[in-house]
Amino acid sequence: MRVDKKTLIRWKVYLDRSKMYIGYVNLLMMVTIFLGAIKNTEVGKFLLTNVYIAIPVLIVVFVFFALLLGYWDSKLGIRSEEMRNLSLQNPVQKEILETIRELKSNQELLLNKLSNTENDK
């Protein structure tokens, strides 16, 4: 049995894209388990009796902390550094980067030759 390489790559891309949506389902499952675990505590009883107040407050708190984590990640540059490291390991992106560097150096040589030619006139 022969497997097409492009088909496997396409399937991998589909699986990678689905991870985000699976993460949302995972988050909902964790919240459900968390609420089930605390429902017999004082905090849980308070949340269940004031559910119309507690849910919006919890959503606002969650969004605040998510934004805060995203801000810290942007300030520290963790994701940017991760993407830079990944692109250096990708042979196609590495080849593109080398080509761009070569084009820039050739452009500088041509500009220098052009300025020298204009200065000679």
Conformation bin of residue 77: beta by default, left when phi > 0, alpha when psi is -120 to 50 = left
Domain limits of the chain? 1-38, 78-121
Predicted confidence at residue 68, as pLDDT, reads 93
pTM: 0.50
Segment 93-114 mean pLDDT? 87
Tens of pLDDT, residue by residue over 44-70, are: 888 888 889 988 988 899 889 989 988
Nearest to 69 by CA among 82, 79, 54, 84: 79
Tens of pLDDT, residue by residue over 74-95, are: 888 887 888 878 777 888 888 8
* Distance of alpha carbon 120 from alpha carbon 26, whole angstroms: 70
Q: Is the pLDDT of residue 110 over 70?
A: yes
pLDDT band per the 50, 70, 90 thresholds, residue 1: low
Classified as helix, coil or strand, 2 is: coil
Helix axes 78-89, 51-76, angle to 10 degrees: 60
* Distance of alpha carbon 7 from alpha carbon 2, whole angstroms: 11
